[in-house]
Amino acid sequence: MKILLNKRTLIRWKIYFDRSRMYIGYIQFFLIGIVFLQSFKDKPWGELVFKYALISIPIALLLFIFLSLVLGYLDSKLGLREEELRNLSKSNPVMMDLLNQLKEINEKIEKLDKKVN
């Protein structure tokens, strides 16, 4: 029972759960792709995909990896994630306090630089 009351243990477990959620998300995304393909099994091109599964599944996997890399590259290039994090930090009072303190420190450094020069 003492192990459950330990704050550090609970935080560590939460971090483990958060990290595993990312990998579970990959598995879920892959399974959604399988369900998507299964929904087209009765269509002519769906029958073709499943008839030649040894060829089409690896091609679909490579296509998925390629498209994921392209999307990740575009996200990095356009800075969408950075903007999202910036917006989230603005709504976080602790981050705003840190940013305000950092601005004050920078202003004091600028004043000291002016006095030295």
Domain-by-domain residue ranges, the chain? 80-117
State which residues of the chain have pLDDT below 50. Answer: none
Phi–psi pair at 18, nearest 5 degrees: -65, -40
pLDDT at site 106 = 93
pLDDT at site 34 = 81
Query: What is the pTM (predicted TM-score) of this model?
Result: 0.52
pLDDT at site 13 = 86
- Please count the helices (runs of H) and the strands (runs of E) in the chain: 6, 0
Decide: 37 and 46 in contact? Cβ < 8 Å.
Answer: yes
